[in-house]
Amino acid sequence: MDANLTDEERLEIIKKWWRENGSSIITGVVLGLAVLFGGKAWFSYQEGNAQTASNIYVTLMSALEAGDAAVVAEKTSVLVAEYGSTPYATLAALAMAKIKIEAGELNDAQAQLRWVLDNSKSDIFKDTARLRLARVLVAMDDLDAADTLLQQPASGAAFDPLYTEVRGDVQIARGDMTAAHAAYQEALAATAVGSPGRHMLELKYQGTQGAAQE
C-alpha cells in the first residue's frame, strides 16, 4: 500500500478489497471449520461403531464356545449387515463358515467365505477364506472352481504350502495320484516340522506314495 496515502484513502482501499474478497474468505473459514469439526465427528462415530461391533463379536464368541449356533448366526447377520466394514464382521463370517462346514451345510459355508473374499480389507483374511473355500469346493466336487481359486497367489508365503496341499487334494479327487503325491511332497518341503497340520500332510504323502510309484 502506498505510504503517501491518507488514512481515509487507505480505509477506502481496505473496504473495497473486503467487498471483493470478504465473502470468499468467510466461505473458506466456514468450510475449514466444517471439515475440522466434521472430521472429529466422523472419527468419533467410527470409534463408537468399532466399539459396538467389538461388543457384538464378544457375545458371538461366547455363544460359539457354548455351542449356541443360533446366537452365532444372529450376531453374524448383524455384524455383516451393519458393521461390514469392520474386521469383526469378517471374523464372524469365518466363524459362521466353520459352523456350517461342521454341520455339512457346505452351500451356506461357501456363501460366508465368498462374502469375506468380496468384502474383507485384510489380505490375510482373504487368503484364509480362499483356502477354506477351496477345501469346501473340493468336498462339493467342484474341482474346477477350486483350481481357479488356488491359482490366485497368496499374499504371504506362509499360505503357499497350504494352497499346494489343497492342490494335491484336488488331484486326489480327480484320481491323479502321481500329481497329488508331487503336490504333497512340495507342500511338505515347505512346511516346518511341528507345524499344525503337518502330520496329516505326511499321511497324505505316504498314502499316495505307492500309487505314484506304480
Tens of pLDDT along 39-50?
444 344 455 567
Does 36 have pLDDT greater than 70?
Answer: no
Picking from 204, 173, 177, the residue whose alpha carbon sits closest to that of residue 191 is 204
C-alpha cell at 187: 507342500
> Which of 7-16, 57-66, 101-110, 174-183 comes out lowest in average pLDDT?
7-16
In angstroms, rounded to a whole number, what is the distance separating the alpha carbons of residues 96 and 103? Answer: 11
In angstroms, rounded to a whole number, what is the distance separating the alpha carbons of residues 59 and 66? Answer: 11
Does 53 have pLDDT greater than 70?
Answer: yes
**Residue at 91 is within a domain:** yes
The answer on 108 and 49 residing in a single domain is: yes
pLDDT of residue 6: 58
The answer on 198 and 144 residing in a single domain is: yes
The answer on 142 and 116 residing in a single domain is: no
- Interhelix angle for 7-66 vs 69-82, to 10°? 160
The answer on 140 and 74 residing in a single domain is: no
Average pLDDT of the chain is: 82
The answer on 113 and 74 residing in a single domain is: yes
Q: What is this structure's pTM?
A: 0.74
**Residue at 29 is within a domain:** no
**Residue at 97 is within a domain:** yes
The answer on 173 and 110 residing in a single domain is: no
Domain of residue 52 covers 35-121
Does 52 have pLDDT greater than 50?
Answer: yes
**Residue at 3 is within a domain:** no
Picking from 192, 188, 194, 191, the residue whose alpha carbon sits closest to that of residue 206 is 188
pLDDT of residue 42: 37
Does 24 have pLDDT greater than 70?
Answer: no
Contacts with 123 (C-beta within 8 Å, 6 or more apart), sequence order: 155, 156
**Residue at 56 is within a domain:** yes
**Residue at 19 is within a domain:** no
The answer on 100 and 142 residing in a single domain is: no
**Residue at 4 is within a domain:** no
pLDDT of residue 196: 87
The answer on 112 and 148 residing in a single domain is: no
pLDDT of residue 86: 87
pLDDT of residue 33: 46
Region 143-160: what's the mean pLDDT? Answer: 90
Total domains, the chain: 2
Does 32 have pLDDT greater than 90?
Answer: no
Please tell me whether residue 4 adopts helix, strand or coil conformation.
Answer: coil
**Residue at 172 is within a domain:** yes
Region 64-88: what's the mean pLDDT? Answer: 91
Cβ atoms of 79 and 113 within 8 Å: the answer is: no
In the chain, % helix, strand, coil (3-state, to 5) comes to 80, 0, 20
Please tell me whether residue 85 adopts helix, strand or coil conformation.
Answer: coil
Share of the chain above pLDDT 70, in %: 75
Cα torsion angle, 147, 149, 152, 155, sign: negative
In angstroms, rounded to a whole number, what is the distance separating the alpha carbons of residues 122 and 116? Answer: 9
